[in-house]
Amino acid sequence: MKRIGLITLIAAICLALGMMVNPTPVVAKTTFVTIGTGGITGDYYPTGGAIARIVNQKRKVYGIRCTVESTGGSVFNVNAVMAGDLEFGVVQSDRQYQAIKGLAEWEEKGPQKDLRAVFTIHPESITLVAADDAGIKTIADLKGKRVNIGNPGSGQRQNSIDALENAGINYETDLTAEGVKAAEAPGLLQDGRIDAFFYTVGHPSGAIKEATAGRRKVHFVPIVGVDKLLAKYPYYAKAVIPIKLYEGATNKEDVQTFGVKATFVTSAKVPDKVVYAITKEVFDNFESFKKLHPAYEVLTKENMLEGMSAPIHPGAMKYYKEAGMM
């Protein structure tokens, strides 16, 4: 009897331990992912929001909860993705190129070998906005002026420097360079605290509309004569800003400039199934995605695979092959 009692006791203990280790029912684990974007008045923040919105509609299918974080921009996003602080980031195509090659901000760190491309999004124009009363008709007129070139950690800062150097202007000695975020620049321009600002952005842009809607009259400054710059840097291309998008600007014609593309990146360490799910939902809902921001009107599935420098993540590649896109 004692033997039977002992066996019963042991069985009861084992059963209890088993329930503690593996309680029922088992609930599927939710995977939380964060997309790094940019300032809330730019187009990166709504871009991240658009992607998150589409993915979260299938939360029960994939077990993925997607959130968006406003950040300092492209450089910050690359570094945060590489550090594992973000799973995804919206990054300018030139910054993706520089990171994977170990150039510019990544010269000391070396190539960011774990950086992976997912897809590209809309074109972005290097945009130069100036006050009418500042006497700035060409980029050469920026000499001696107070100009916001973008905050450290943003992609637009290097674009501004490239545009200035192409025009023979040293941003450290030939002008007073401010380094504030793009969202702050329109207010500074209207308040008379700066004469002009650069912004790499897709159009139409809320920040640019703010700048053109104030009491101080402003205009876009063309950035031309960039053929040598485009030959030197393969990620740049000529672009045009449609003036019809900004009724408050005093320009009469569309504005010639150059630009890059916004890209969506991740890390090699992010699971294939997560990247696959996000890629699939964006492309399977392509027409709905295009309607989420005016800058997406020019998108095609084909051009969303152009302009990537980093290797494509295996999760994204799986979808592209299934869809016959590669």
* Mean pLDDT, residues 224-241 taken together: 91
What is 124-260's CATH number? 3.40.190.10
Cβ–Cβ under 8 Å, residues 59 and 29:
no
- Between 130-134, 140-144, 259-263, the lowest mean confidence (pLDDT) is in 259-263
For β-strands 31-36 and 64-69, DSSP reports them as parallel
Residue 4 pLDDT > 50: no
Please, how many CA atoms are within 13 Å of residue 168, restricted to the half-sphere of its CB?
4
Cβ neighbors of 60 (< 8 A, separation 6 or more) are none
User: What are the C-alpha distances in Å from 112 to residues 44, 119, 246, 270?
Assistant: 22, 18, 39, 15
Judge if 31-123+262-322 and 124-260 fold alike in CATH terms: yes
pLDDT of residue 14: 44
What's the rounded Cα separation, in Å, for the pair 45 and 181?
Answer: 14
Cβ–Cβ under 8 Å, residues 72 and 154:
yes
Domain boundaries, the chain: 31-123+262-322, 124-260
pTM: 0.78
For β-strands 196-201 and 146-148, DSSP reports them as parallel
Cβ neighbors of 321 (< 8 A, separation 6 or more) are none
Residue 130 pLDDT level (bands cut at 50, 70, 90): very high
User: What are the C-alpha distances in Å from 316 to residues 34, 131, 190, 306?
Assistant: 17, 44, 44, 14
pLDDT of residue 28: 57
* Mean pLDDT, residues 254-264 taken together: 94
Residue 174 pLDDT > 60: yes
What's the rounded Cα separation, in Å, for the pair 184 and 156?
Answer: 14
Residue 19 pLDDT > 70: no
pLDDT of residue 122: 87
State the fold for domain 31-123+262-322.
D-Maltodextrin-Binding Protein; domain 2 (3.40.190)
